[in-house]
């Protein structure tokens, strides 16, 4: 039976060395699930609220655990997530913290799968889920909020869209990451790494475009399948109302200039993916850019949609973007994340399941991506907390979880 008999919460370390919430869920027949909340640095204004972990844990112990233990079945994800929402009582988890909520929600999913003896992706996706595997988007060069003194654009992504298998795709991204270090070395550019393991060189965005393009082409030639190039501009972090636009060092781009710039980059570098090209409040700008280049590339809303069905519906209504980033901790529960994927897919938007810049060894998003038949998963290229998810994807494809 999957009746929840205990929920334990603790503070553990995340990849930035900050505390985060880990949850264990235990069930009547010995089922066990453990999950930890990730944490963003370039967070969207409309995300669910992350509380300091000790506060989130104390509030969840007070309000949520009594509604779950001996009351709710871990195998019934909607009931678990409904109890979390009821315990919180707000629409943004500001009472118990989205970090407590998402850790419990994911741990309950794992406990439910454990009792069934099924892998998590199968428990969440069901017997008739699709058979596709997501293409991993690998962050290979980055800056923004993830690395100071590096590029203004937050993430330059390798996208091995032609890879014959998920394993070959994962290794292709690692090879692009490696090739970039050689190219930077040849140019005498020293490079530290950003929060997600991407190179964080002190170069201009224009030079980063050149470097990543060269690395992607070299690895494409070596491996013999298509590797695309993508971006997360994280433009909300660049936008400054007082400056009247997007601040790239000494240069400020107006919204029109930004739309032109991104459209130009899409054409010049054949970009297959562009996340958050404009500010999180600019549905109109998103719609205009989608109109211009949406046939050639994915325009993905991260801070724009924050995994929220209402914000996504607003976007669908005006034609803003053609893809949505899904981060369970932006909205607080697995059920809400699934609802966002479902609404997206019904309206022809591709779902991209994503990590956060602050992560743990938790692999739930790898299962979520397979369960939802998502087109892409964005979870870095190298570095332990990223490879945890990538290696889990390889295991899922190998039927070895
Ligand atoms: O903007 C993003 O897409 C994410 C993950 O790459 O960053 P953060 O978790 O800092 O919001
Ligand atoms: Mg983003």
Mutual angle of helices 166-186 and 384-397, in 10-degree steps: 150
Q: CA angle 104-108-110, nearest 5°?
A: 120
What's the average model confidence in pLDDT over 224-230?
A: 98
Q: Name the CATH topology of 4-117.
A: Enolase-like; domain 1 (3.30.390)
> What are the tens digits of pLDDT across the range 191-202?
999 999 999 999
Closest to 136 in 3D by CA, of 400, 388, 401, 399: 388
Reply yes or no on whether the pLDDT at 367 is more than 80: yes
| Number of alpha carbons in the 13 Å side-chain half-sphere of residue 19 | 12
Q: What is the pLDDT of residue 130?
A: 84
CA distances from 156 to 36, 124, 190, 216 (A): 27, 31, 17, 11
Q: Name the CATH topology of 135-397.
A: TIM Barrel (3.20.20)
Percent of the chain as helix, strand, coil, to the nearest 5: 45, 20, 35
**Domain boundaries defined on the chain:** 4-117, 135-397
> What are the tens digits of pLDDT across the range 34-81?
999 999 999 999 999 999 999 999 999 999 999 999 999 999 999 999
Q: What mean pLDDT value characterizes the chain?
A: 97
Is 39's C-beta closer than 6 angstroms to any atom of ligand 1? no
Where in the sequence numbering do the catalytic residues fall? 196, 327
- Pocket residue to mutate for ligand 1, from 14, 18, 37, 40, most atoms within 8 A of Cβ: 40
The ligand with the least distance to the CA atom of 146 is: 1
> What are the tens digits of pLDDT across the range 260-292?
999 999 999 999 999 999 999 999 999 999 999
* Residue list, annotated binding site for Mg(2+): 232, 275, 302
> What are the tens digits of pLDDT across the range 312-331?
999 999 999 999 999 999 99
Atom of ligand 1 minimally distant from the CA of 275 = 3
CA–centroid distance, residue 232 to ligand 2 (Å): 6
Place of tokens 């009582």: 89
> What are the tens digits of pLDDT across the range 92-127?
999 999 999 999 999 999 999 999 999 999 999 998
CB-based contact 293:299 (threshold 8 Å): yes
Q: What is the pLDDT of residue 364?
A: 98
Is 195's C-beta closer than 6 angstroms to any atom of ligand 1? no
| Number of alpha carbons in the 13 Å side-chain half-sphere of residue 393 | 31
Closest to 55 in 3D by CA, of 89, 103, 96, 24: 96
> Do strands 228-232 and 273-275 pair parallel, antiparallel, or not at all (unpaired)?
parallel
Place of tokens 């990849």: 15
Q: What is the pLDDT of residue 48?
A: 98
The ligand with the least distance to the CA atom of 157 is: 1
Strand partners for 223: none
Q: What is the pLDDT of residue 1?
A: 75
Is 356's C-beta closer than 6 angstroms to any atom of ligand 1? yes
CA–centroid distance, residue 194 to ligand 2 (Å): 14
Reply yes or no on whether the pLDDT at 131 is more than 90: no
């Amino acid at each position: 039976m999957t009746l929840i008999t205990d929920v334990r919460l603790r503070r553990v370390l995340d990849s930035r060395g900050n505390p985060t919430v880990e949850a264990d869920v235990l069930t009547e027949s010995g089922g066990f699930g453990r999950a930890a909340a990730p944490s963003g640095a370039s967070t969207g204004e409309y995300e669910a609220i992350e509380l300091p972990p000790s506060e989130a844990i104390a509030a969840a112990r007070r309000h949520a655990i009594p509604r779950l233990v001996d009351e709710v079945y871990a195998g019934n994800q909607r009931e678990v997530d409904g109890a979390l929402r009821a315990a919180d009582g707000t629409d943004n988890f500001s009472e118990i913290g989205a970090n407590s909520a998402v850790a419990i929600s994911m741990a309950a999913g794992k406990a439910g799968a454990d009792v069934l003896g099924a892998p998590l992706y199968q428990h969440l996706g069901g017997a008739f889920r699709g058979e596709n595997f997501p293409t991993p988007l690998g962050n290979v060069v980055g800056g923004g909020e993830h690395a100071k003194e590096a590029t203004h654009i937050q993430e330059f992504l390798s996208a091995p869209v032609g890879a014959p298998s998920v394993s070959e795709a994962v290794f292709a991204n690692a090879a692009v990451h490696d090739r970039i270090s050689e190219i930077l070395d040849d140019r005498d550019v020293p490079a530290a790494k950003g929060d997600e393991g991407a190179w964080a060189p002190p170069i201009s965005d224009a030079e980063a475009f050149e470097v990543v393009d060269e690395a992607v082409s070299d690895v494409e030639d070596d491996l013999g399948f298509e590797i695309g190039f993508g971006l997360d501009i994280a433009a909300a972090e660049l936008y400054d109302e007082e400056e009247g636009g997007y601040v790239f060092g000494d240069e400020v781009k107006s919204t029109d200039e930004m739309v032109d710039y991104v459209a130009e980059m899409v054409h010049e570098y054949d970009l297959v993916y562009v996340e958050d090209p404009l500010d999180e409040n600019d549905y109109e700008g998103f719609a205009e850019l989608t109109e211009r280049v949406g046939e050639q590339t994915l325009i993905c809303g991260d801070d724009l949609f924050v995994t929220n069905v209402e914000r996504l519906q607003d976007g669908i209504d005006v034609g803003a973007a053609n893809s949505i980033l899904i981060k369970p901790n932006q909205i607080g529960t697995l059920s809400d994340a699934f609802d966002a994927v479902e609404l997206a897919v019904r309206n022809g938007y591709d779902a991209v399941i994503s990590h956060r810049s602050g992560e743990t060894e938790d692999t739930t998003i790898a299962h979520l991506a397979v369960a939802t038949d998502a087109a892409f998963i964005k979870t870095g290229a190298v570095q332990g907390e990223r490879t945890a998810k990538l290696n889990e994807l390889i295991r899922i494809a190998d039927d070895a979880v």
